[in-house]
């Protein structure tokens, strides 16, 4: 069931007029905000953020769509179910959360725009439930299995992927020593200018409120453990079966971070799960929706239509 509250305290300055929902699922309660009229559109955030990352885009999209911005399980205001070895944080399970939320809000089929981990949930959902997703926008990712292939081949640094997916409790213990330094350090490194000046201070505060919680730190690690295990295996199985995404796909990489020193993201998607994908390169670091909201919004609007 859904519990609605228009006056929760989670950065309401960004989402004036949006309704707030806490929706019961198998993962516990999933938090979402909704507003607008028209075709339904789900917005899924990335690591180490929350739905607040859409603050500059969601109100504009809500002028043309029924927008639902969700906190993934383990992130933001959503429940963080107990887990080991990533079992509760597979992108397949997170996709089921999205279905539960949207069905509770009255929608069986919907478009999805996802960034980072949210984009991984989005493409897994589209592969597993092709009748559910009408259009899919993927912000600054390539498939999980391709990331691990690049790491193992030495084409990309292992970085946080290998660190966070280590067995419990090693990464959790290290991060808990100083969560703010760890997470702000990552965000600074991944931003196009190597600074956080393009992020709204209230958005950074919202992220920090979540990542300072030990249960969230564990959830983040479980998310990456799932990526190293079940998520990667699900990708491999679908590639071997030559399964592709049925709906239109648009890829929006930044021109820094993901594509630096690697094959273009659009090329990778065309060779794997989205042979007919289109794309727009955003002048940005990894956090395209915040670092270049105007260009990201324009690209999404063109792709999604009105």
Q: What is the pLDDT, as a whole number, of residue 1? A: 46
Q: What average pLDDT does the segment 57-80 reach?
A: 97
**Number of neighbouring beta carbons within 10 Å of residue 193:** 12
Instruction: Write down the pLDDT at residue 268.
Output: 96
**pLDDT over threshold 60, residue 185:** yes
Catalytic residue among 45, 115, 218, 286: 286
Mean pLDDT of 8-31: 86
What's the confidence (pLDDT) of residue 8? 45
Using alpha carbons, select from 52, 55, 29 the residue that is nearest to residue 209.
52
Residue 209: band (very low, low, confident or very high) from pLDDT cuts 50, 70, 90: very high
With cut-offs at 50, 70 and 90, classify the pLDDT of residue 261. Answer: low
Characterize the bridge pairing of strands 133-139 and 110-115. Answer: parallel
- For residue 9, the model assigns a pLDDT of 52
CATH code of residue 279: 3.40.50.1820
* Residues with Cβ within 8 Å of residue 164, at least 6 apart in sequence: 171, 220, 221, 223, 224, 225
Is 60 exceeded by the pLDDT of residue 306?
Answer: yes
- Rounded to an integer, the average pLDDT of 251-260 is 87
Q: Which residues of 7-36 are buried (b: 16+ CB within 10 A; e: fewer)?
A: ebebbeebbeebbbbbbebebbbbbbbbbb
Q: Out of 59-63, 104-108, 156-160, 216-220, which region has the weakest mean confidence (pLDDT)?
A: 156-160
Give me 259's structure tokens: 């594509």
31-139-107 Cα angle (round to 5): 45
| Residue range 79-101: mean pLDDT, rounded | 98
Q: How many domains does the chain have?
A: 1
Cis omega before residue 140 (within 30°)? no
Which distant-in-sequence residues (6+ apart) come within 8 Å of 290 by Cβ? 53, 56, 198, 199, 200, 203
Q: Contact, 15 vs 7, CB < 8 A?
A: no
Q: Is the pLDDT of residue 27 over 70?
A: yes
> Can you tell me which residue has the tokens 């993901």?
258
- What integer is the mean pLDDT of 51-57? 97
- 265-292 confidence digits (pLDDT tens): 999 999 999 999 999 999 999 999 999 9
Rounded Cα–Cα distance for residues 288 and 12 (Å) = 22
User: Of the listed 96, 97, 116, 223, which one is catalytic?
Assistant: 116
- CB under 8 Å to 146, separation ≥6 — which residues? 268, 272
* Structure token digits, residue 48: 């180490």
Instruction: Quote the domain boundaries for residue 216.
Output: 2-304
Whole-number average pLDDT of the chain:
94
Pairing of strands 40-44, 2-4: unpaired
Which pLDDT score, from 0 to 100, does residue 262 have? 73
The verdict on whether 116 is a catalytic residue reads yes
What is the spatial distance between Cα 189 and Cα 30, in angstroms, rounded to a whole number? 30
Q: Could you confirm whether 286 is annotated as catalytic?
A: yes
Q: Residue 113 forms beta bridges with which residues?
A: 43, 137
């Amino acid at each position: 069931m859904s519990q609605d509250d228009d006056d929760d305290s989670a950065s309401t300055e960004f989402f004036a007029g949006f309704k707030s929902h806490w929706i019961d699922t198998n993962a516990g309660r999933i938090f979402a905000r909704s507003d607008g009229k028209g075709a339904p559109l789900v917005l899924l955030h990335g690591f180490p953020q929350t739905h607040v990352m859409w603050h500059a885009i969601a109100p504009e999209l809500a002028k043309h769509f029924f927008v639902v911005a969700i906190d993934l399980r383990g992130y933001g205001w959503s429940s963080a179910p107990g887990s080991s070895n990533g079992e509760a944080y597979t992108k397949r399970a997170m996709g089921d959360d999205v279905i539960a939320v949207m069905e509770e809000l009255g929608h069986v089929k919907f478009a999805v725009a996802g960034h980072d981990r949210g984009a991984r949930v989005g493409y897994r959902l589209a592969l597993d439930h092709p009748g559910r997703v009408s259009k899919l926008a993927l912000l600054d990712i390539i498939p999980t299995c391709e990331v691990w292939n690049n790491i193992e081949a030495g084409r990309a640094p292992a970085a946080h992927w290998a660190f966070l997916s280590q067995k419990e409790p090693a990464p959790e213990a290290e991060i808990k020593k100083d969560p703010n330094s760890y997470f702000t350090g990552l965000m600074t490194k991944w931003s196009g200018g190597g600074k956080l000046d393009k992020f709204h201070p209230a958005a950074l505060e919202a992220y920090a409120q979540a990542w300072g919680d030990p249960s969230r730190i564990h959830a983040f690690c479980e998310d990456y453990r799932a990526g190293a295990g079940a998520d990667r295996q699900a990708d491999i199985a679908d590639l071997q079966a030559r399964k592709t995404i049925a709906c239109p796909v648009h890829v929006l990489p930044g021109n820094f971070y993901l594509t630096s020193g690697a094959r273009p993201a659009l090329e990778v998607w065309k060779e794997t799960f989205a042979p007919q994908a289109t794309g727009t390169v955003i002048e940005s670091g990894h956090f395209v929706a915040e670092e270049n909201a105007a260009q990201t919004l324009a690209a999404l609007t063109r792709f999604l239509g009105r």
